[in-house]
């Protein structure tokens, strides 16, 4: 019997985060969305202005019998650069910030400890700037964002940003 939990993370464009987590054993679903903004609902067009306070995120539902929240976060640290403030590559703005939105106190504790361990790992040269905060003002993104990479693998952003990231994670045996 599946025991499920949700994790919500942002690490740049939600198309990238979604594509990564869709390739992880134990992940049941990944939904692009927006969280942490000034209002309960928003749109892609509004979020792209950088004025709503929302981050592009992925809501991940996973089977805790197969993968733990800690393991979800271990993938998160390697799936983006958590040392760049409000930026991932050419995606710049608060909507692309590195953020973990926790759903309960247990997730909060795990996230804080995970960030401490990641900072001590020497994997990155600079200090991790990832925000850790309780989930608020979350809404699902518009339907056309769902399965974006899988549905648009030849789109230039997918070819030049997402595919190289996936290839590197596959090479490092983080995803399959």
**Catalytic residue ranges:** 13
Helix or strand holding residue 55 (H, E): strand 55-63
Are 71 and 80 in contact by the 8 Å Cβ rule? The answer is: no
Residue 93, sorted as left (phi over 0), alpha (psi -120 to 50) or beta, turns out to be left
Are 25 and 75 in contact by the 8 Å Cβ rule? The answer is: no
Of 143, 158, 2, 10, the residue nearest 81 (C-alpha):
10
Which residues lie below 8 Å from residue 73, measured CB to CB, with a gap of 6+? 7, 9, 100, 110, 111, 114
**Other beta carbons less than 10 A from residue 41's beta carbon:** 13
User: How far is it, in rounded angstroms, from Cα 28 to Cα 151?
Assistant: 18
């Amino acid at each position: 019997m599946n025991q499920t939990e949700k994790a919500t993370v942002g690490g740049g464009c939600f198309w990238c985060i979604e594509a990564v987590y869709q390739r992880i054993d134990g992940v049941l679903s990944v939904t692009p969305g927006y969280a942490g903004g000034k209002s309960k609902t928003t749109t892609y067009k509004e979020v792209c202005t950088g004025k709503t306070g929302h981050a592009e995120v992925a809501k991940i539902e996973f089977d805790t019998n197969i993968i733990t929240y800690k393991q979800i976060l271990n993938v998160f640290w390697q799936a983006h650069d958590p040392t760049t403030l409000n930026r991932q590559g050419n995606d710049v703005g608060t909507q692309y910030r590195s953020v973990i939105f926790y759903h309960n106190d247990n997730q909060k504790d795990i996230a804080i400890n995970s960030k401490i361990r990641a900072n001590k790992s020497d994997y990155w040269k600079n200090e991790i700037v990832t925000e850790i905060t309780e989930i608020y003002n979350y809404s699902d993104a518009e339907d056309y964002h769902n399965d974006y990479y899988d549905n648009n693998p030849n789109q230039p952003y997918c070819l030049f940003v997402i595919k190289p990231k996936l290839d590197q994670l596959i090479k490092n045996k983080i995803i399959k």
